[in-house]
């Protein structure tokens, strides 16, 4: 299942990214079988998008690489709660390292392709955000993609992809487990899923208590738990298809995550603007002030929407219980 990581910039065709394929599980699958299938899907998702991210012309490539790495870390986190494992610890650390290496490129992509166009309304008050910040941001984005190409085209990425292939093909990662640890992997996957989905759902409700009073930092913590809950639901929703409730639940999770992401976007935008400030003059400082005020107002408005979506999420039944 190993993939050659290459980038052919000579071609005029911009490579296509690929979203993760649905995970196919059977009602009788054990945790061991389910993990193999989930890891194989993550491997294929990562392998398909590494060349796209390295090429750099399709911003979705870096995004999908980050998603694949996060999904693996979420799965490893579930397994490590039940079966501590040095191989999983090491693999999770590599996934964190790789994700960190591409994070800056993703931040500049979001800033230039989403945030800046979304600030076009400021032209009505004579603030040309795109005209001021784009020439300053493009070189920094280019440098960030140099890091992407270096890291994702390097040995660490190749080793990590190779390990995922081995985990998907067999039980190499189980060698360090005790007999008792290996026995836990014979548990029905559906029982494993219900236990962890219930735990994460309760944790989200606990973190989100008194939602309207939460600080941006506390809302970010809620979002992180929801992200883990969503990945876990995506891993195991095939085991609960008869009820037909899994997909609507996952859609609600995704919508809530997106709204809560405004807090994170505002903080990231401020950080990027501060970096631009090292290269700009008075025009940039004026633009930064206007953008900061605009985003703060938008953040306040979005918070009300987030609260409504949160209340709906809390009222809806979960899909893994009758």
**pLDDT value of position 4:** 39
Hey, is 12 helix, strand or coil?
coil
Structural domain contains residue 11: no
178 part of a folded domain: no
Give me the pLDDT at residue 7, please: 46
Of the chain, the end-to-end C-alpha distance in Å amounts to 38
Does residue 182 lie within any of the structural domains?
no
pLDDT of residue 128: 94
pLDDT at 5: 44
Residue 2 maps to a domain: no
Neighbours of 290 (CB within 10 A): 17
**Number of domains, the chain:** 1
Whether 233 maps to a domain, the answer reads: yes
Here the CATH number for the domain that contains residue 117 is 1.40.20.10
pLDDT, residue 84, reads: 80
Q: What's the DSSP call for residue 124?
A: G
- Which one, of 310, 303, 184, lies nearest residue 255 by Cα? 310
Helical spans, DSSP H, in the chain: 31-55, 60-82, 86-110, 129-152, 155-169, 179-184, 189-207, 216-236, 246-276, 282-315
Distance of CA 249 to CAs 204, 311, 319, Å?
14, 14, 7
Is the residue at 5 inside a domain?
Answer: no
Domain span including residue 84: 31-168+187-315
Q: In whole angstroms, what is the distance from residue 101 CA to residue 112 CA?
A: 19
The per-residue pLDDT for 283 is: 84
Which among 264, 260, 288 has a CA at the least distance from the CA of 274? 288
pLDDT score of 17: 97
Q: Is 9 inside any structural domain?
A: no
Residue 35 lies in a domain: yes
Question: How many residues are recorded in the chain?
Answer: 322
Q: What is the Cα–Cα distance from 128 to 116, expressed in whole angstroms?
A: 10
Task: Locate 211 and state its tokens.
Answer: 């939602």
pLDDT in tens, the chain (322 residues): 444 344 455 557 999 999 999 999 999 999 999 999 999 999 999 999 999 999 999 999 999 999 999 999 999 999 988 888 888 889 999 999 999 999 999 999 999 999 999 999 999 989 999 999 999 999 999 999 999 999 999 999 999 999 999 888 776 677 777 777 788 889 999 999 999 999 999 999 999 999 999 988 899 999 999 999 999 999 999 998 555 788 889 998 999 999 998 888 888 998 999 898 776 678 888 898 899 888 888 877 788 889 999 999 999 889 998 7
What is the pLDDT, as a whole number, of residue 198? 97
């Amino acid at each position: 299942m190993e993939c050659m990581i290459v980038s052919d910039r000579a071609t005029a065709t911009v490579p296509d990214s690929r979203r993760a394929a649905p995970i196919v599980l059977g009602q009788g699958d054990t945790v061991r079988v389910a993990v193999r299938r989930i890891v194989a899907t993550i491997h294929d998702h990562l392998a398909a998008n590494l060349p796209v991210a390295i090429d750099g012309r399709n911003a979705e490539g870096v995004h999908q690489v980050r998603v694949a790495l996060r999904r693996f870390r979420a799965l490893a986190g579930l397994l490590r709660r039940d079966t501590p494992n040095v191989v999983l610890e090491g693999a999770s650390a590599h996934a964190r390292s790789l994700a960190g290496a591409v994070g800056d490129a993703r931040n500049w992509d979001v800033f230039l392709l989403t945030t800046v166009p979304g600030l076009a309304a400021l032209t009505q008050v004579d603030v040309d955000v795109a005209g001021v910040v784009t020439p300053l941001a493009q070189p920094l984005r280019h440098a960030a993609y140099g890091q992407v190409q270096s890291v994702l085209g390097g040995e660490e990425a190749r080793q990590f992809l190779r390990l995922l292939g081995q985990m998907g093909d067999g039980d190499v990662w189980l060698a360090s487990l005790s007999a008792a640890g290996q026995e836990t992997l014979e548990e029905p996957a559906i029982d494993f899923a219900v236990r962890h989905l219930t735990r994460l759902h309760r944790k989200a409700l606990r973190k989100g208590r008194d939602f309207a009073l939460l600080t941006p930092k506390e809302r970010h913590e809620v979002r992180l738990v929801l992200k883990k809950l969503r990945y876990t639901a995506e891993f195991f929703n095939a085991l609960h298809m008869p009820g037909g409730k899994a997909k609507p639940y996952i859609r609600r999770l995704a919508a809530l995550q997106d709204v809560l992401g405004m807090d994170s976007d505002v903080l990231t935008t401020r950080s990027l603007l501060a970096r631009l400030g090292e290269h700009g003059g008075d025009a940039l400082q004026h633009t930064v002030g206007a953008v900061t005020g605009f985003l703060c107002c938008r953040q306040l408005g979005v918070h009300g929407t987030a609260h409504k979506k949160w209340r709906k999420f809390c009222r809806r039944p979960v899909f893994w219980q009758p």
